[in-house]
Chains A and B, each alone.
Chain A
């Protein structure tokens, strides 16, 4: 081994604590890249492979009842490759031995051959061969412990029919399987049932007709004209506006997940890499300063400038190797944990592909680039140093008086305090960067710790303020309002409240959104509209109330006139004024007063949903047993269970996230504070030893050493709060999609907690360095010149 290489490794060994402190910061950045970029890529690729092999459609449309004869016309639309029509319907399922009903989405299978599009993948058993058989989606089977041969009963438009499960399957349409009105998958109470077409045709009067169509298009075919053509063809038959993959529910959830991973990838790694650059820069700067005479010597014996510059770059590269290595390990582990989480929430037929090797390579290059960028300045300084100059001691740092002196006089500051302040002013860039580094640590904590508060607000608003019902009973088509009275008479029922849902297109100028419009009962108590401040909002009888994100998407404000084109009933179009905008976290809500909606539909009062509260859990069981037999009931949502599962899942995820971010914040703080204090100690060792000789105690000397870093740590807090607020804001905006929004809720406790963690980590780091004060060689100071 060359002497230079030996020196490299020994230097690194000597600097190992500092090296590790920086490497950990770098590792955090690398790990986040591996996890976020890697998993978003992996999800994307897994999804593409699945969609490709199972022919996931490009366009999805539905109608009330369209004749099969339309099929050939649909096929003739320009650019269309394949068309598949189906009958689909929701139905209440009765699972033997269980009081709780489940909701099923029944899907017809072609009478001959295999489906062309959205091909379900058989996982177990066989496809149904007669009307009494069904295949269910795998998660539903697993959650209920079904095996082929088990029987469940299906409420087919009021007639209960027993069907035998012959197998399980997965479908690209249901990667994220979520029932009507649910917020997250509840596989126990929502399932997909593939049945022979004849069953559905008979059960729902759909012989010779279909109500769902899926299409694929030829490559490079623009989707809009195809959607328009489909819409035109289906329009006479009660079509809803066709949607692309972006609005297909399961795919939209996958998009949202990928989007949030990408937000992470854009927000966090640059912070960690930036801090790495700064730390390497600070530490390498000091090393080159300390090794002046060695550099001079190396040059004197014939090393080239290039070799010397490279030597210091290599020292930084060792930090990169360490950081990248740790980052790969932690990142892979995180990615694996994410894969497990995805396996739980997303139903892919195969494991989510691992992190692509290219991401490992990319992250390593970024890591090396960060340390090299940090070391470049020092390496070039070392390379450029003339040997004769290098061998002579450096000139003492040049301090000048400043206006600060008068202030210091005024405040009667002691000399140690003056030393701290002058050092800050002497190296303002370094002080500024140190401050910024610690501020970023605070901001990472603020920006991550606001999630629990935000979630609490979401849960509170969604589950305790807006939706206060125990259960929702879904009717499709709408039932006359007498249903309300029938439900009210059921045992254990305390309150009932009607609600209507209608698919509609909202249009304002060039902007258009397809959303469900819902009604709000007069003096609503169970399903209310509540804004961000917890205030109950009642829709004006003469206008429409919009959620803020919907209003933003449509570019409308209060007072603007919106075109509302219903896709159900008489499919009429209305011009209505926007009479209110309300902050909401889930979905894109649009509301009319219940009576207003009835009169717009020119119908006797009807209900799509009956909201129910029950007297007690015992009543709930009897109630649930009873509703299995209600004809025309197509689904139920158990809000009590929804609340519990949502809260559990979230609090679990939040605990993990808060811990992870807490660690990241501490890594940054320790990396910055420890290195800043070490460089301080190195620069001031002589000065501090001299003070010890002059009779200063260890504590007084430690004050000077710790003072600067801790002062910066304190000053960093408000800066960190502001940055954290900004980052939190950016993140909430980044995470916001049509599906949900995350409110920016920042409690004083969040700031306080972030500051406590960072200040604590700073104090510990500085204390570790201050311990070295005991090892100062007082005698050497008198004998040597720096």
Chain B
């Protein structure tokens, strides 16, 4: 099990006073109210917090899906605060892997082709079969989403996310739609990727049990970081139950 010290101290993400305000007509919602944060290379971070605490908003901004209202943020040395649409698309294509709560597989493509969707446009991807093998689905490659269980679909989604060898893996409630047993399988997959490839991984959850597998746990409250905890002794995903 990787120790905290194993992490390189390379700063992958840095934010400075990041704010995000949603204008919903009559009320203004401050989803992020000034976040200063650094995420390090090869680190597995769990972002914990109740609904509306700002964790998803932060992840969206880091993943290049949304823009901050104020503050600045960097991916490695590159500032992305004011990046154009085209630059953000490029950034997502080259560096970021996403895992969603609801898998978001393309129903008209089978498992292999869903992965291929990404490998076709990535710079130095692994083979789709290799990615599916990593998530333990080499025997289900020709199945379509409608022919797979939720856990399997989520693992295809992870394979799709990692197949391009992303620098960062951003997971929004990856086990939210799964039962405990299937959920741990998915977490184990994520942990394995993190261990083997050193992919910087951020996992959003409001399931506190998952914090036990993280290097660091960042707790959110009202759009701010409440506190950051470092795990001296991490559990393997398979040891986690809820």
| Residue from A415, A423, A695, A697 within 8 A of B113 (CB atoms) | A415
Chain B residues near A779 (CB, 8 Å)? 56, 60, 65-66
CA distance A198 to B65 in the complex (A): 101
A145 lies within 8 A of chain B by Cβ: no
CA distance A686 to B110 in the complex (A): 17
CA distance A419 to B121 in the complex (A): 16
Tell me whether A781 and B146 are in contact (CB under 8 A).
Answer: no
B29 lies within 8 A of chain A by Cβ: no
CA distance A697 to B91 in the complex (A): 11
| Residue from A415, A423, A695 within 8 A of B89 (CB atoms) | A695
Task: List residues 697-711 of chain A with CB under 8 A from any CB of chain B.
Answer: 697-698, 700
Chain B residues near A686 (CB, 8 Å)? 104
A397-B89 in contact given A415-B116, A415-B117, A693-B98 (Cβ < 8 Å): no
- CB nearest neighbor in B for A700: B121
Tell me whether A691 and B146 are in contact (CB under 8 A).
Answer: no
Summed over the interface, the residue pairs from A and B with CB atoms below 8 Å come to a total of: 102
CA distance A687 to B116 in the complex (A): 15
| Residue from B109, B145, B146 within 8 A of A415 (CB atoms) | B109
Tell me whether B109 and A422 are in contact (CB under 8 A).
Answer: yes
Tell me whether B104 and A399 are in contact (CB under 8 A).
Answer: no
A418-B102 in contact given A694-B93, A696-B89, A779-B60 (Cβ < 8 Å): no
Tell me whether B110 and A401 are in contact (CB under 8 A).
Answer: yes
CA distance A785 to B172 in the complex (A): 13
A692 lies within 8 A of chain B by Cβ: yes
B36 lies within 8 A of chain A by Cβ: no
Interface range on chain A (Cβ under 8 Å from partner): 20 to 34
Tell me whether A696 and B121 are in contact (CB under 8 A).
Answer: yes
Tell me whether B100 and A781 are in contact (CB under 8 A).
Answer: yes
User: Chain A nearest CB: distance from B67 CB in Å?
Assistant: 11
B86 lies within 8 A of chain A by Cβ: yes
Tell me whether A396 and B107 are in contact (CB under 8 A).
Answer: yes
Tell me whether B144 and A398 are in contact (CB under 8 A).
Answer: yes
CA distance A415 to B121 in the complex (A): 10
User: Chain A nearest CB: distance from B31 CB in Å?
Assistant: 11
Task: List residues 172-218 of chain A with CB under 8 A from any CB of chain B.
Answer: none
Task: List residues 670-703 of chain A with CB under 8 A from any CB of chain B.
Answer: 686-687, 690-698, 700
CA distance A126 to B160 in the complex (A): 96
User: Chain B nearest CB: distance from A210 CB in Å?
Assistant: 84
Chain A residues near B63 (CB, 8 Å)? 693
A395 lies within 8 A of chain B by Cβ: yes
A340 lies within 8 A of chain B by Cβ: no
Binary interface profile of A, 337-371, with partner B (CB < 8 Å = 1, else 0)?
00000000000000000000000000000000000
User: Chain A nearest CB: distance from B37 CB in Å?
Assistant: 19
Tell me whether A401 and B121 are in contact (CB under 8 A).
Answer: no
| Residue from B92, B107, B172 within 8 A of A694 (CB atoms) | B92
A783 lies within 8 A of chain B by Cβ: yes
A414 lies within 8 A of chain B by Cβ: yes
Task: List residues 71-102 of chain B with CB under 8 A from any CB of chain A.
Answer: 85-86, 89-90, 92-94, 96, 98, 100-102
A398-B146 in contact given A693-B98, A782-B98 (Cβ < 8 Å): yes
Chain A residues near B118 (CB, 8 Å)? 694-695
B2 lies within 8 A of chain A by Cβ: no
Tell me whether A422 and B120 are in contact (CB under 8 A).
Answer: no
- CB nearest neighbor in B for A786: B102
B108 lies within 8 A of chain A by Cβ: yes
| Residue from A397, A687, A696, A784 within 8 A of B146 (CB atoms) | A397
| Residue from B92, B98, B122, B146 within 8 A of A399 (CB atoms) | B146
User: Chain A nearest CB: distance from B66 CB in Å?
Assistant: 6
Chain A residues near B142 (CB, 8 Å)? 401
Chain B residues near A330 (CB, 8 Å)? none
Chain B residues near A687 (CB, 8 Å)? 104, 106-107
A778 lies within 8 A of chain B by Cβ: yes
CA distance A548 to B90 in the complex (A): 70
User: Chain B nearest CB: distance from A186 CB in Å?
Assistant: 66
- CB nearest neighbor in B for A774: B85
A696-B109 in contact given A686-B104, A782-B101 (Cβ < 8 Å): no
CA distance A783 to B94 in the complex (A): 23
Task: List residues 94-145 of chain B with CB under 8 A from any CB of chain A.
Answer: 94, 96, 98, 100-102, 104, 106-110, 113-114, 116-118, 120-122, 142, 144-145
A418-B65 in contact given A690-B104, A695-B96 (Cβ < 8 Å): no
| Most B CB within 10 A of own CB, among A418, A423, A426 | A418
Tell me whether A694 and B146 are in contact (CB under 8 A).
Answer: no
Tell me whether B86 and A419 are in contact (CB under 8 A).
Answer: no
Tell me whether A694 and B117 are in contact (CB under 8 A).
Answer: yes
- Specify the main secondary structure of chain A where it touches its partner: helix
Tell me whether B113 and A418 are in contact (CB under 8 A).
Answer: yes
User: Chain A nearest CB: distance from B142 CB in Å?
Assistant: 6
A400 lies within 8 A of chain B by Cβ: yes
A418-B121 in contact given A693-B65, A695-B89 (Cβ < 8 Å): no
| Residue from B110, B145, B177 within 8 A of A396 (CB atoms) | B145
A422-B104 in contact given A399-B146, A415-B116, A694-B118 (Cβ < 8 Å): no
User: Chain A nearest CB: distance from B136 CB in Å?
Assistant: 22
CA distance A692 to B88 in the complex (A): 10
| Residue from B85, B102, B104, B108 within 8 A of A419 (CB atoms) | B108
CA distance A230 to B101 in the complex (A): 94
Tell me whether B65 and A695 are in contact (CB under 8 A).
Answer: no
Chain A residues near B92 (CB, 8 Å)? 693-695
| Most A CB within 10 A of own CB, among B98, B100, B104, B145 | B104
User: Chain A nearest CB: distance from B164 CB in Å?
Assistant: 8
Tell me whether A696 and B93 are in contact (CB under 8 A).
Answer: yes
Chain B residues near A700 (CB, 8 Å)? 121
| Most A CB within 10 A of own CB, among B89, B109, B113 | B89
Chain A residues near B85 (CB, 8 Å)? 698
Chain B residues near A426 (CB, 8 Å)? 108
CA distance A419 to B66 in the complex (A): 27
CA distance A245 to B118 in the complex (A): 77
CA distance A665 to B195 in the complex (A): 62
| Residue from A422, A695, A784 within 8 A of B94 (CB atoms) | A695
User: Chain B nearest CB: distance from A681 CB in Å?
Assistant: 15
Chain B residues near A781 (CB, 8 Å)? 100, 104
Tell me whether B106 and A690 are in contact (CB under 8 A).
Answer: yes
Tell me whether B109 and A782 are in contact (CB under 8 A).
Answer: no
CA distance A697 to B177 in the complex (A): 29
CA distance A686 to B106 in the complex (A): 9
Chain B residues near A784 (CB, 8 Å)? 102
Tell me whether A782 and B89 are in contact (CB under 8 A).
Answer: no
CA distance A414 to B107 in the complex (A): 16
CA distance A491 to B120 in the complex (A): 86
CA distance A399 to B148 in the complex (A): 12
Tell me whether A399 and B121 are in contact (CB under 8 A).
Answer: no
CA distance A146 to B156 in the complex (A): 91
Tell me whether B144 and A400 are in contact (CB under 8 A).
Answer: yes
Chain B residues near A398 (CB, 8 Å)? 107, 144, 146
User: Chain B nearest CB: distance from A556 CB in Å?
Assistant: 62
Tell me whether A414 and B65 are in contact (CB under 8 A).
Answer: no
- CB nearest neighbor in A for B113: A415
Tell me whether B104 and A697 are in contact (CB under 8 A).
Answer: no
CA distance A419 to B120 in the complex (A): 14
A401-B108 in contact given A415-B117, A694-B117, A695-B89 (Cβ < 8 Å): no
B: residues with CB less than 8 A from A are: 56, 60, 63, 65-66, 85-86, 89-90, 92-94, 96, 98, 100-102, 104, 106-110, 113-114, 116-118, 120-122, 142, 144-146, 160, 172, 177
Q: Which 9 A-B pairs have the closest CB atoms?
A: A695-B93, A422-B108, A695-B92, A690-B104, A415-B117, A398-B146, A785-B102, A399-B144, A782-B100
A: residues with CB less than 8 A from B are: 395-401, 414-416, 418-419, 422-423, 426, 686-687, 690-698, 700, 778-779, 781-785
Q: List 19 A-B contacts (CB under 8 A).
A: A397-B146, A399-B110, A399-B144, A399-B146, A415-B106, A415-B116, A418-B108, A419-B106, A687-B106, A690-B106, A691-B106, A693-B65, A694-B118, A695-B90, A695-B93, A697-B86, A698-B85, A782-B101, A782-B172
